[in-house]
Amino acid sequence: MLGFFGRRLGQGLLVLILISLLTFFLINLAPGGPSAAARFESTAQERAAISKQLGLDQPLAVRYGLWAAGVVRGNFGSTLNGGQPIGPMLAQRLSTTAQLGLAALALSLLIGIPLGVMTALRRNSVLDHLVNTFSTLGMSIPDFWTGIVLILLFSVTWKLLPSSGMADLSGGFSLKEWLRHLALPASVLAFVMLPNLLRFTRASLLEVLSADYLRTARAKGVAEFWVVYKHALRNAFVPIVAMIGLLLPALLSGSVIIESVFGLPGMGRLAVDAALGRDYNTVMAVTLVAGGIVIVTNLLVDLAYTLIDPRIRRD
């Protein structure tokens, strides 16, 4: 197990280095990159001063080396627009995105897995057709449209929930306010994730419901509840965990639109603002953190396999 963990960790570090290399060089080689900070209406002396301040007068490889050395020390640099330290700002934005993503994931698990089990046990029933219709809608309707509709209904018309922003925790944590502010964005993000989880749970459970060991358990008099939830669902859970591992990185990409629609100060919105403002330091930091989250998620999913099914061993 330690050998497997070490290999995967080494592979993850190599992937992070490749991500940083590709992102850094593509940003610097693309039209309108960091050199756009020196505007054309500026004088030659002003452009030279800005280029020297940003390090644009140095070779590309040297600039990457200086940036990578700072990252190793935990320093992501400063924003090009305002000169604010990126590290503390990124930590604050990551906290918002984590709250949104984990709330959406919890909502998807609480609804998706039970509904997937119910539809597998009641195949071709009215419930099965209704849930499949719901899943199709979730996969077809754009998430920004769903978010706008929910804002119009719950915030503008019924005035039940806030339309944007996060709960103000400066005066102390309030569970009610936290849930009220997260209810709409988390529901929209869960509505996007739910169809895949629901369909995958249903398909995985259908594969094992007709297995011989389940018929043997029923013949021995085991209650149907334990046959399904202790034997069938446990064996069907390995591919379900794999799907969850694929959904976790999707939370980052999905949060870009959700955070923009609901005005949440998260990583997705930070990445959009940095790209529009040509702030390549911030873009690099967001890309590197997002890549790290994906790598750690995949590693945790691989380790979870051995906990769910002891027959799976990692050498």
39 and 135 share one domain: no
- Amino acid letter, 98: A
Tokens standing for residue 118: 């119910």
> What's the confidence (pLDDT) of residue 109?
92
Residues 235 and 114 in one domain: yes
Residue 2 lies in a domain: no
- Do 117 and 193 fall into the same domain? yes
- Do 43 and 108 sit in the same domain of this protein? no
pLDDT per residue as tens digits for the range 260-294: 899 898 988 888 888 887 788 898 999 999 899 88
Residue 119 lies in a domain: yes
The tally of domains found in the chain comes to 2
Asked if residue 79 is part of any domain, the answer here is no
Report the interhelical angle of 233-262 vs 143-150 (nearest 10°). Answer: 70
Task: Identify which has the larger pLDDT, 47 or 233.
Answer: 233
Average pLDDT for 90-102: 90
Shared domain for 199 and 242, answered yes or no, is yes
Do 98 and 68 lie in one domain? The reply is no
For residue 226, name the pLDDT band (cuts at 50, 70, 90): confident
For 175-214, the pLDDT digits (tens) are: 888 999 999 999 999 998 899 899 989 999 998 887 888 8
Stretch among 9-13, 90-94, 305-309 having the lowest mean pLDDT: 305-309
Tell me whether residue 77 is in a domain: no
Tokens of 145: 């449209």
Q: Are 67 and 132 contained in the same domain?
A: no
Q: What is the pLDDT of residue 156?
A: 93
The pair of three-digit structure tokens given for residue 121, joined into one six-digit string? 């046990």
In this structure, are 262 and 148 located in the same domain? Answer: yes
In the predicted model, is pLDDT for residue 36 greater than 70? Answer: no
CA distance between the termini of the chain: 5
Looking at the predicted structure, is the pLDDT value of residue 171 above 70? Answer: no
pTM: 0.86
What is the separation of C-alpha 132 from the centre of its chain, rounded to a whole number of angstroms? 25
Structure confidence by residue, pLDDT tens digits, 98-127: 899 999 999 999 999 999 999 999 988 999
Residue 173 lies in a domain: yes
Burial class (CB in 10 A: 0-12, 13-18, 19+), 241: middle
The CATH number of residue 288's host domain is 1.10.3720.10
Q: Are residues 136 and 25 in the same domain?
A: no
Residue 315 lies in a domain: no
Tokens 């446990």, located at residue: 234
> How far apart are the C-alpha atoms of 11 and 278, rounded to whole Å?
30
Which contacts of 208-215 are long-range, i.e. CB under 8 A and separated by 24 or more positions? 208/232, 208/235, 208/236, 209/120, 209/121, 211/235
The Cα 235–Cα 231 span in angstroms is: 6
Handedness of CA 78, 80, 84, 87 (dihedral sign): negative
Q: Give which of 246, 256, 230, 248 is closest to 308, Cα–Cα.
A: 230
- What's the confidence (pLDDT) of residue 222? 87
pLDDT at 116: 92
| More confident site: 52 or 163 | 163
Can you give the residue range of the structural domain that contains 198?
92-308
Is there a single domain that holds both residue 26 and residue 155? Answer: no
pLDDT at 104: 93
Residue 244 maps to a domain: yes
Assess contact for 99 and 184: CB atoms under 8 A. Answer: no
Task: Name the average pLDDT for the chain.
Answer: 84
Q: Kindly report, residue by residue over 134-166, the tens digit of the pLDDT.
A: 888 888 899 899 999 999 999 999 999 999 888
Report how far residue 239's alpha carbon sits from residue 200's, in angstroms, rounded to the nearest whole number: 8
Indicate if 33 and 148 belong to the same structural domain.
Answer: no
Q: How far is it, in rounded angstroms, from Cα 235 to Cα 238?
A: 7
Residue 223 is given by DSSP the state -
- The DSSP code sequence of 143-173 is HHHHHHHHIIIIIIIS--S-SSS----TT--
User: What pLDDT score was predicted for residue 139?
Assistant: 87
- For residue 246, what pLDDT is reported? 80
For range 241-262, the mean pLDDT: 82
Claim to verify: residue 151 and residue 289 sit in the same structural domain: yes
